[in-house]
Structure 1
Amino acid sequence: MFKRNIWLLQAMLAVAMAFVACHSSDKDYRRKNQWWEYGGMPDQSKYVETQELTLDNIHNLSVEWAYELTDNASYQFNPIVVDSIMYVLAHNNSLVALHVDTGRELWIHGNLNGITRRGLNYWESADGKDKRLLFTIRNTLQAIDATTGKSILDFGDKGIVSLNIGLGIDTTKVGRTQPSTPGRIYKNLILLGSSPGEGLFSTPGHLRAFNVVTGKLAWTFHTIPQPGEKGYDSWPKGAYQYAGGVNVWGEITVDEKRGIAYFPLGAPTYDYYGADRPGNNLYGNSLLALDAETGAYRWHFQTVHHDIWDYDLAAAPQLIQVKHEGKTIDAVAQASKQGFLFVFDRVTGKPLWPIEERSVPASKVPGEKAAPTQPFPTVVPPFNRQYVDENAISDILLSKSEYDSVLLRVAAAANGFYTPLELDRETISSPGAVGGASFGNTASNPEKGIVYVMSQDFASFYKLQKAIPHIPRQANPAAAQQDATLKQGLSVYNLYCKSCHAAGGSGQIGPALVQIGKKMSFQKFKGLVETGQGQMPAFQHLDENAVKTMYAYLNTLEQAGATAKTVENAPSKNPLLVAENAAFDQHPGREFVNRNRSVYYPSHITDTPINRYVTGYGLELPHVLTPPWSYIVAYDLNKGSILWKTPLGTDPNAARKGFKNTGVPNGAQRKGMLVTSSGILFATANDGFIYAYNSADGKEIWKHELPLTSEALPSFYSRNGKDYIVVNATTTQPLSYKSSQNTTKPKTTKGAYIVFSLKKS
């Protein structure tokens, strides 16, 4: 009898193990053929196994269906696909579940204003019964049932997890703590970065992990080291108490097999002047490898010492396998904004090829102590132009007078790679603030050791100046207070916005901003300033007072013939609305707290106030360099060499003058790629097309016009043996060109999520 029971127990155990193995295998298959998270998979390769789409039949790729937006908002959201459901952001920041076959709405979760706009995270339990969507919104982490769309109220405190915890600082001094890009799921954890802004005294960007079921904080890694921690001596004593930034606003990558998470870290703040932070400032601008389950340090490499050029790391680290010196190496490749591709052994952090410390110029700005050397890869060539002179200036999109003016500015400017910014004259940095590679701009064929970098040439023309004083609210007469407010608003506008939106807000590169209050509320305006849109970068370092004064100033402006309208598209009357974020309403998020000041007193330096020096991003000349302005570069990292380089798109204005393959100014920012096992590389561009290239040689093999341009990563899924490409084409900037004859007009003229598939034969 005893032996029989043992046999039965063994048989039951075998059946259970077989069930678990089958479910695990089924889960792996689903993940590989769907798009469960931002970037597709934890390795961020954007590499997918295709079942039917090939180089031979791609010409048959066309629109299967499109989900049109009802509002005029621009969404950077990367669609998530799980089984038969696609999740998108639409309709006044509502999360919408669609059926993947038709685009039919299944449910809507509304009123997610303040949500991280680039995407969210999906997690399911081992038995598949608990399926949830996790997202960050207004300094909180929340969860939604992926099947019903309803808030999960036993997550955290009645559905809310505060992102102000685990930072080791006074929470009353905490500003923005949520990330601008989704985190990364590892087992039952969600790994999160943050986007605290770029102003002085911004929140430190410490890395954290939370349990996806309970919401409890699992671990914290201090990116600005505290006493006794590695890297503490690379900062002034006590800097952790006031320094900010050193955050992951870009893309996290995870090696699931080894349990290692790779974090590309941004610069310390303030980005362009670091008198309060002498030293190399670890872990600023570092690729940091941590144990994903515990947050324990594994290794790091700092790509910029004491950054004063805003050279954040933001692009996803690429996990690849290469043949190197007779061995097979599991490597990680990190593309940077300054145009370098750094390659390391992903376990040890050892560079595959030597990286040299080379002397760079000293700073001339009072109080600034620039690093004497910077790291330079020696074998892997840069993918970006790193120096600008008169020969690099193009007259394609400039008048004769404009061209001559730019030449004079270049001749008079301080110039050269890693040249510090100055006070008395302009400094040209190439790549500039939005040059090089940013989020969404890397992909790979992992097993072949090929890495693809989407990049752009963009030189910033910088000039430091004293910061605009902060005007606190006080009991002044109303007229005097209003006058002071408008003067500050004008100063803020001239420093950060005038170069693109012209004097008086009349519009130039960017749209007209006159009487902005008739177009959008202050909260929406503030959100736009913080997150950016289209060619406009994010100005997260501007405090709320500065944004308020600029908003007030713009509301006083008038322009002949200008019209404005407000579009509100809340889905409150839609019968599919399952919730309006009730959990959030119960626990409103903390308003961002201003920690910026016009002067500061770092006690380690002096008791006397030190002037702040600031600059705009220098974006007023996006098209002055010789083209191509944006392109894709393929690296063979078995050899450490460039395999091919091809322009990405064509600027419409250059096309009218007969130029082709020029790339597009800002053409690679906020874009993305897909790489297929059948040899196709898909990429979106700022000219309003999606392109396909032969991934072996970079030759264009297909393109399709979109109704609007895209600021999001494309997605991929296979269903019943059929392949689908999903493109978020919702950026509301007009595309002023005519369709070429070899493309198909889109089936919609509104912003839409567009699904492509092969035509039925």
Structure 2
Amino acid sequence: MHRTAVFGILFIALCGSCGPEGGTRYKEWSDYGGGPDQSKYVDHTQITRENVDQLEVAFVYPTGDQVNYRFNPVIVDGVMYVLAKNNSLVAIDAATGEELWIHTNLRGIIQRGVNFWQSEDKKEKRLLICLNNTLQAIDANTGKSIMSFGNGGYVDLKQGLGRDPATFGRATSTTPGKVFEDLIILGSAPGENLFSGPGHLRAYNVITGELVWVFHTIPHPGEYGYDTWPEEAYKYVGGTNTWGEISVDKDRGIAYFPIGSPTYDYDGADRPGSNLFGNCILALDARTGERLWHFQTVHHDIWDYDLTAAPQLITVDHDGEKIDAVAVASKHGFLFVFDRVTGEPLWPIEERPVPASDMPNEQAWPTQPFPTVVPPFNRQLVTADDINPYFPPADKAKWTARVTAAKKGLFHPLSDQYEVVTNPGAVGGANFGNTAADPRNGIVYVQTQELVNFYRLKKREASPQRFGAGRNSGDTPEAFARGKALYAQHCQACHGENRAGIDGLGTTLVNLSIKVNAAAFSGIVAVGKGRMPGLPHLTATEVAAIYTYLTPEAQRGGGGRGNRDDDTVELPEGPVVASGGVPVDLPPSGGQRMTDYPGTYTGPRSEYVETNNWGLGVPNLLTPPWSLIVAYDLNEGKIKWKIPLGNDDSIPDSENLSMPNGSQGKGMVVTSTGLLFSTCLDGRVYAYNTDDGSMLWSTDLGRNNPGGLPAMYEVGGRQYLVVCSVGSLKDKSKEESDVPKGYIVYALPKKEK
């Protein structure tokens, strides 16, 4: 970055910190993750370490359906916006739960949250939503769609990516973007198969829907980083996307993006080079999309070690100076820390040699970056000594033999000749929702899980339709039969043979078509939801076949023409003001997908897929604990404390050190009074002392798998904590009606007047 640019940004920051927001910062939960910086930090003082154990349920807003939401509410000016009632956006009074309006039937909407914008005078308020490859705006005051936004009320997100929209499927993310000034900044989740769409970053005007800027994460000719790829890689490589959480330095106007892996994740034969901007933390000018700096945490990724967790913006004491820094946690267990403005590491990061690949045409990068001072938050090597001592002898012997025979190491390249075992694997470490901070005091919190991967490659099946077919390619008897077989192979272990779900593993899929349409289902399968990992290796045809099998009762469409099926959807009770979003007229979602390299391509081809399903069939392989919260003091670059997360009653006391694999919580809230709240998939909410990690309070929600990030807010002088709890019943002796299901809101008891 040029020195003059740095000085300019510093000047803006100094002026911005004196602005009108100075006294209100961290007072509202006005965005996914709390606010622009994604710190999940609130400056409310009513709930303290001394009284947190007095929290009680203030009210419950029931979701009123069987959908397993993973939603982070937004609360502004006493109004809470939630997702409920068969994918409806609902505005409720944040102090009482009274419904204000319902915009129903938004099937295909991003399930993790929405973006909120308001004018300076607070009269105009908008919710920005992504729905089935479109961006739409809803009037937050009335709940009605804003028809002047975009083209007849929507923006087609498959346009403007530099590639024929018919050749790829998804163009939306599964996580909300970020509002900055009058812009909505978006990532995407195009999938991880060969020839998935590109993950370019974009910003749109929140009033008009006009595309303001695009940053090519797979560089085009003449752009920075183009020489780190084969020529014209931007024409066939996909991914390299932000499907996780974007953070914004509002004062400086800098947006920080955690970038994912290029496609295909595990075979990079067709993309020799370091592959910028894959697996980077990337700082862009939020107003223009200009690159300010980047750092690549994995070169030429072939392990699916994409970045997803929100970069944390903190201020630290470093070498006698106050430094505004950014810390990003990775799937492979590292915390990388940089000067927020210049991108310089606060402590040295070394390039160390790693093994070469023995696969034909694979050119694994010879070195990888390792932080030298800040310790990792996960174990990063698996040996026979790490096998869970509580396994029965036969199981322990089986896993010991498998670990002993496998190749080991964090960056050992994959092979079709032997297994490679790593920890954390592709769905271990830190994932979306798993970071928070005390931004003023330089403390970062990471939720993490010790989830081992056994990797192995195999040749792809040669099929001209393996990357997708037409719109109704799943709607045949043959597809139904194939879908049943694919379901048994990939889904049945968690969702049951009868699709009714298995407690603690997977939700019911009965009446699936009522909950999600085909387009939304495709997105969930690709990138995952809750504790379910994505299955990006499944082709579009295979996903369509599974949906066919799961929805025999449905009259399915491609989902590409919007969501206007009001005549077939029963409207919920309450103040319904609109249904289905805006009328959308898009090309069919199938189309002629890209199934081969461009005709001018003469290089090696990606020919292998990874076969071992991310290690999810390995139950708690390692010695416990398996899920943790790790607190870093980044004034010193050290771990302040580390505690197990979770306390499952089904595990004997000798093992009861944390929740099992795949079950770390999905969110935290940090308070200025020294509390850290965390959800956990054991069905509890915990409050910890930020000084030492000691537990001060917990409550049992009565259900497994609380979903989404929790949120904290204040209305009328009363402070509230809200948690989305929609999982299955923990105690099967109880009735559904006996256990609250929905948005559970906690507060201290009201004082007697």
**TM-score normalised by the chain length of structure 2:** 0.88
Which residue of the other structure, out of 278, 282, 293, is the alignment partner of 2:287? Answer: 293
Give the counterpart of 2:251 among 240, 257, 276.
Answer: 257
Structure 1 counterpart of 2:677: 682
The alpha-carbon distance between structure 1 residues 519 and 39, as it changes in their structure 2 partners (threshold 3 A), is: closer
Matching residue of 1:7: none
| CA shift digits 1:101-139 (9 cap, x unpaired) | 110111100111111111011111122221111111111
Question: Residue 13 of structure 1 corresponds to which residue in structure 2?
Answer: none
Deviation at 1:551, TM superposition (A): 4.4
User: More deviation in 340-349 or 319-328?
Assistant: 319-328
- Percent of paired sites with the same residue: 49
Q: Computing the radius of gyration over CA atoms, which structure comes out larger, 1 or 2?
A: 1
2:301 to 307, 310, 334: 307
Deviates more, 1:338-347 or 1:458-467: 458-467
1:38 corresponds in structure 2 to: 32
Bigger drift between 618-627 and 197-206 goes to 618-627
Cα RMSD over matched residues? 3.1
In terms of mean alpha carbon deviation, does 369-378 or 609-618 score higher?
A: 609-618
Corresponding residue for residue 711 of structure 1: 707
Match of 1:636 among 633, 636, 641: 633
Q: What is the CA–CA distance in structure 2 between the aligned matches of 1:722 and 1:512, rounded to whole Å?
A: 35
CA drift of 1:613 comes to: 2.8
Residue 181 of structure 2 corresponds to residue 184 of structure 1:
no
Task: Give the 3 Å change call, closer, same or farther, for CA 586–238 of structure 1 in structure 2.
Answer: closer
| Contact 1:69/1:751 (8 A) holds in 2 | yes
Matched, 1:379 2:373: yes
CA distance in 2, matches of 1:552, 1:131: 40
1:749 to 718, 733, 739: 739
Given that residues 26 and 42 in structure 2 are in contact (C-alpha distance below 8 angstroms), is that contact kept between their aligned partners in structure 1? yes
Cα distance, 1:221 vs. partner? 0.5
Q: Structure 1 pair 512/65, CA: closer, same or farther in 2 (3 Å)? A: closer
The count of corresponding residues between Structure 1 and Structure 2 is 711
* Worse overlay, 255-264 or 505-514: 505-514
CA–CA distance in structure 1, aligned partners of residues 218 and 361 of structure 2: 21
1:365 to partner: Cα distance: 2.0
**Following TM superposition, by how much is the alpha carbon of 1:447 offset from its aligned partner in structure 2, in angstroms?**
1.4
Match of 2:137 in 1: 143
Report the more deviating stretch, 538-547 or 429-438. Answer: 538-547
1:451 is aligned to 444
Q: Which residue of 2 aligns with 1:760?
A: 750
Cα distance in 2 for partners of 1:628, 1:536 equals 21
Distance change in 2, residues 1:331/1:628 (3 Å) = same
Per the alignment, residue 237 of structure 1 pairs with 231
Is 1:619 equivalent to 2:612 in the alignment?
A: no
Structure 2 residue 203 is matched with structure 1 residue 217 = no
Q: 1:440 to 1:100 in 2, by over 3 A?
A: same
**Aligned 8 A contact 1:237 1:604 in 2:** no
Q: Secondary structure at the match of 1:178?
A: coil
- In the aligned structure 2, how far is the partner of 1:75 from the partner of 1:642? 33
| Contact 1:386–1:417 under 8 Å retained in 2 | yes
Query: What is the letter of the counterpart of residue 691 of structure 1?
Result: Y
Deviates more, 1:696-705 or 1:526-535: 526-535
Q: Supply the AA of the counterpart residue of 1:587.
A: D
Q: 1:566-605 maps to which residues of 2 (within 5 A)?
A: 572-583=571-582, 585-587=583-585, 591=589, 595=593, 597=595, 600=597, 603-605=600-602
- 1:507 & 1:64 partners in 2: Cα distance? 31
Using the TM superposition, give the Cα deviation of residue 328 of structure 1 relative to its aligned residue in structure 2, in angstroms. Answer: 1.2
CA distance in 2 between counterparts of 1:760 and 1:593 reads: 58
CA distance in 2 between counterparts of 1:383 and 1:300 reads: 23
Identify if the C-alpha distance between structure 1 residues 486 and 402 changes in structure 2 by more than 3 Å, giving closer, same or farther: farther
Tell me which of 722, 728, 731 is aligned to 1:726: 722
Cα contact 1:176–1:592 (8 A) shared by 2: no
Code of the aligned partner of 1:393: I
122 and 517 in structure 1: CA distance in 2 versus 1, 3 angstrom threshold: closer
Q: Secondary structure at the match of 1:692?
A: strand
Measure how far apart 1:550 and its partner are: 3.5
Query: How much does 1:760 deviate?
Result: 2.8
- Counterparts of 1:44-123 in structure 2 under 5 Å? 44-123=38-117
CA separation of 1:492/1:127 partners in 2, compared to 1, >3 Å: closer, same or farther? same
Q: Which residue of 2 aligns with 1:561?
A: none
Aligned partner letter, 1:659: E
Distance in 1 (CA, whole Å) between partners of 2:698 and 2:568 is 32
The answer to whether the Cα contact below 8 Å between 1:207 and 1:223 also exists between their aligned partners in 2 is: yes
2:687 maps to what in 1? 692
2:198 maps to 1:204: yes
Offset from partner CA, 1:438-468 (integer Å, 9 cap, x none): 1111111111111111111100122211224
Match of 2:534?
A: 538
Q: Conserved in 1, the CA contact under 8 Å of 2:40 and 2:670?
A: yes
Partner of 1:15: none
Out of 539-548 and 387-396, give the one that drifted further: 539-548
Between the aligned partners of 2:68 and 2:508, the Cα distance in structure 1 is: 17
Q: C-alpha displacement at 1:518, in angstroms?
A: 9.4
Give yes or no for contact 1:76–1:728 (8 Å, CA) kept in 2.
yes
CA distance in 2, matches of 1:193, 1:538: 17
Q: Residue deviations 1:148-174, cap 9 Å, x none?
A: 000001111111111122211122223
Residue 194 of structure 2 aligns with an amino acid whose one-letter code is L
Structure 1 residues 388-433: Cα deviation after superposition (integer angstroms, max 9, x where no partner): 111111143x433222221121111122111111112222121112
Change (3 A) 1:349 1:465: same
Residues 544 and 226 from structure 1, CA distance in 2 versus in 1: closer, same or farther, beyond 3 angstroms?
A: same
Aligned to 1:3: none
Deviations 1:262-302 (A, max 9, x none): 01100001111111111110000000001000111100000
Distance (Å, rounded) in 2 between the aligned partners of 1:505 and 1:716: 35
Cα distance in 2, alignment partners of residues 519 and 157 from structure 1: 28
